[in-house]
Structure 1
Amino acid sequence: MKFNQVGWFEFGANQPEKAKEFYKKMFGWDFKTNPDLESQGYQYDGIIEPGNEIPTGGMMYTADKMEEYAVFYVFIENIHEAIEKAQENGGKLIWGPVTDDSNITFARLKDNSGHQFGLFSVKN
């Protein structure tokens, strides 16, 4: 994976089992429980697209605790520098950065016109 390219997608679902059934039938996606965020109180499934062996996206169980959403994540070299750069250009940090149990650090932001996007990097 190269820096500054979309490397992950994610959506939040209030009815995750219903969403999984839909996307399985629609695109052939498989879902695999990801325990890395459980310690922080989140239920999350990795999405494995046909032809891939590892997840390339994920589904957050929102359980009516937050709005449903869809967002893309860009793989970057230094998350703190990227957040600062976004803020310098009119963007806003929504949450994060957070590092999960597999040492992936991610954050959610809004661009200067209000669209959400995410950043992620691998913690050394």
Structure 2
Amino acid sequence: MKIKKGDTVQVLAGKDRGKQGRVIDALPRDGRVIVENLNLVKRHRKPTPIRDSSRMGGMQMTPGGIFDKPSPIDISNVMLVCPTCKQATRVGIHVKEIKGETLRVRYCKRCNEEVDR
């Protein structure tokens, strides 16, 4: 998977098409990523008591209500935004040998600058 946690991506399809956000979590086994503040879904949560709260006073409760939660987006529906040219771009991989070790380095196919520094 060519997109990693912390990358800035642009959404290509769906209700958030055209928006950009930072990747919170990458799920390579599922081929999905979770992008900050995009593809939000509503979750209803009951108020529940907090375990092991201090014994003094009454029970403490976590608040209930309706919360927004980002849900995963398929990797095919996002595109990496290059940090140098600030445009959504395809990603290529250069294989470099440094001190006898091979490193895979991602690069922007628009400006040929390395994404990983």
More helix by share: 1
Give 1 or 2 for the bigger CA radius of gyration: 2
TM-score range relative to shorter protein: under 0.3
- TM-score for the superposition, normalised by structure 2: 0.22
- TM-score for the superposition, normalised by structure 1: 0.21
